[in-house]
Structure 1
Amino acid sequence: MPRAVDFHVHLPTTEFMQVTLGPYARAAEKFFRTEVKLKDIEQIAADYAELDMIGVLLAWDAETATGLPPLGNDYIAEIVKRYPQQFIGFASVDPHKGKVAVKEIERAVKDLGLGGAKFHPGVQAFYPNDPQFYPLMEKIQELGIPALFHTGTNGLGAGTPGGMGIKLDYTRPIYLDALAADFPGLTIIGAHPSWPWHEEMLAAMQHKTNIYNDLSGWSPKRIPEVLLREAATRMQDRFLFGSDYPFITPQRWLRDFEAFDYFTPEAREKLMWRNAQKLLDHTAVAQMKFSG
């Protein structure tokens, strides 16, 4: 079994950091108090192999709202194809592209073999529960893949006048609650600790069992303890480990997590990989890695 599944991995490549993120990258580095060193795919794969981790690689398409080119689904799928033991890929589509987005998510799953969908409502400028995007959500539910949505504050644009145009209201988890109600067959993952609306996230998770939370993007030392306590106890089946690499490395996240001694071995195992296995067992990579 792998040591962990890192459910939230961005690529520190030129294609993502300089082309797709473009002007947002510097603000993100400042927010995370880090300087991202660019790496090639071979180095990233070697790093995750050394850590004995599966990484969930995230595509990115916010073209309508930002005017920046996507980090395409074909790009992510090719990496997964090259390193099938190391990575699982999540597709991204721009919801504003309408029928094109619906066709693309189907192609990404059926033809490219990607295992989930990734959205950033703040940067993509949309509400997940807006009915105009429901044909897309219906297709994702039909495909049987999880959908991951950024929630809470945003490192992109943080600390700049006007936040580079990004509006935080799009990222409130209460909108995922409405989406979960309208699509009970859709597995929804709120990415990050959702601060300052983390209690909204907990309320939605408690009420609707098709909502999960990944704890990426924050050092565990900074995560509101109420979330970690729930991850250790009554909602231990619905939290996921994620780093938000390269802005936070998995090494740092796990090192800081060691301070929390109230996780039982069973709860820790669920957070690190068992809950991810449950959500990803439809993918070929997970079937290979978890078959032992």
Structure 2
Amino acid sequence: MDLDEIVAIDVHTHAEISSSGHQSLPPYLMEASEKYFGAHGHRLPTIDETAAYYRERKMMAVVFTVDAEQATGHPPIPNEEVAEGCARHPGTLIPFASVDPWRGRAAVRAARRLVEEHGVRGFKFHPSLQDFAPNDRMAYPLYEAIEELGVPALFHTGQTGIGAGLPGGGGIRLAPSDPMLVDDVAADFPGLRIVLAHPSFPWQDEALAVALHKEHVHIDLSGWSPKYFPPQLVRYANSLLQDKVLFGSDHPVITADRWLRDFEGLDIKPGVRRKILKTNAARLLGLAADEEVERHA
């Protein structure tokens, strides 16, 4: 892969349907998510379709699903299938995995196997959907394994569109996605590279504080159109956090095309714009040596 040929790296896209037609969410949550995001008609691209979309645009994308079977009773899309699908498109797709922390020791074994045997490059957690507090010691053996494996952990933070508008939010609680709970993880696992996903409404200031305070904590900008970003997020992304903020779309519910179009309207310095769109992610994901990243910045 030549970074010179890559326009951007999207660190937050979803595998929403398996090769057998199994969807990532139960039908009632999928329907509510479609309504919340207005994503009818393009909600379920296959991994191959996602690859074609990003390849056409000379972009790379991180792809993952969410294993929340303990909380929802809904089996996940197999991580192995996501990894195999990404392997068909090297230089375009980057596989992340999701293992339900409620699986205990089995989750730890799965994480090691997925990295060592399937080439997984990171892990996605959704505390609200998976119904666990990130700082619950139950999950600590899993974090320890991920830290040892040297790959990032990406945590959903803030409000979620999953369950939004349903009675009781479909039973999904927002409190586990407070980024201050991930601050404990960052303190207890100082070598673990962490991404706080999304503008963390209603905890945006907390997310900024954690990223400023903890060396290896980053923020991705997925899940919102940039024209709705809180002003303090834009200000810190353009200054103190310019090396720790990442382009993420939440594709397919928010397409990369829409996100990038709205991002053009933000008052971001040209050099910072390049960091957000590509070079910060290249460094985090180990796609290039630091000196090469600096050259491209």
The two structures have a TM-score, normalised by structure 1, of: 0.94
Alignment of 1:97-246 (within 5 A): 97-246=103-252
- Confirm whether residue 64 of structure 1 aligns to residue 64 of structure 2: no
Measure the CA separation in 2 of the matches of 1:136 and 1:188. Answer: 14
**Cα distance change of structure 1 residues 277 and 16 upon mapping to structure 2, 3 Å threshold:** farther
Query: Which of 32, 36, 42 does residue 31 from structure 1 map onto?
Result: 36
Paired letter, 1:83:
H
In structure 1, the residue corresponding to 2:94 is in which secondary structure? strand
In structure 2, the residue corresponding to 1:69 is in which secondary structure? coil
Partner residue in 2 for 1:13: 17
C-alpha contact 1:11 1:245 (8 A) present in aligned 2: no
Measure the CA separation in 1 of the matches of 2:41 and 2:223. Answer: 14
C-alpha contact 2:47 2:86 (8 A) present in aligned 1: no
Residue range with higher mean Cα deviation, 237-246 or 33-42: 33-42
Give the share of equivalent positions with the same residue, in percent: 48
Paired letter, 2:139:
F
- Confirm whether residue 259 of structure 1 aligns to residue 265 of structure 2: yes
**Cα distance change of structure 1 residues 146 and 36 upon mapping to structure 2, 3 Å threshold:** farther
User: 1:18 Cα shift?
Assistant: 5.4
User: 1:32 Cα shift?
Assistant: 1.0
In structure 2, the residue corresponding to 1:92 is in which secondary structure? coil
Paired letter, 2:165:
G
C-alpha contact 2:15 2:65 (8 A) present in aligned 1: no
RMSD: 1.8
- Confirm whether residue 85 of structure 1 aligns to residue 91 of structure 2: yes
Residue range with higher mean Cα deviation, 7-16 or 105-114: 7-16
Provide Cα deviations, 1:159-208, integer angstroms capped at 9, x if missing partner.
11100110000000000111111110111111100001010001111111
Partner residue in 2 for 1:94: 100
Provide Cα deviations, 1:128-166, integer angstroms capped at 9, x if missing partner.
111121111111111111000000001000011100110
Residue range with higher mean Cα deviation, 2-11 or 28-37: 28-37
In structure 2, the residue corresponding to 1:56 is in which secondary structure? strand
Measure the CA separation in 2 of the matches of 1:287 and 1:205. Answer: 23
**Cα distance change of structure 1 residues 86 and 14 upon mapping to structure 2, 3 Å threshold:** same
C-alpha contact 1:60 1:72 (8 A) present in aligned 2: no
Partner residue in 1 for 2:52: 46
Partner residue in 2 for 1:277: 282
In structure 2, the residue corresponding to 1:30 is in which secondary structure? helix
Measure the CA separation in 2 of the matches of 1:36 and 1:95. Answer: 32
List alignment gaps of at least 5 residues for structure 1.
none
Measure the CA separation in 2 of the matches of 1:237 and 1:201. Answer: 15
Measure the CA separation in 2 of the matches of 1:117 and 1:67. Answer: 21
Paired letter, 2:216:
N
Measure the CA separation in 2 of the matches of 1:151 and 1:5. Answer: 20
Measure the CA separation in 1 of the matches of 2:194 and 2:45. Answer: 31
List alignment gaps of at least 5 residues for structure 2.
none
Measure the CA separation in 1 of the matches of 2:74 and 2:254. Answer: 24
**Cα distance change of structure 1 residues 14 and 228 upon mapping to structure 2, 3 Å threshold:** same
Measure the CA separation in 2 of the matches of 1:89 and 1:74. Answer: 10
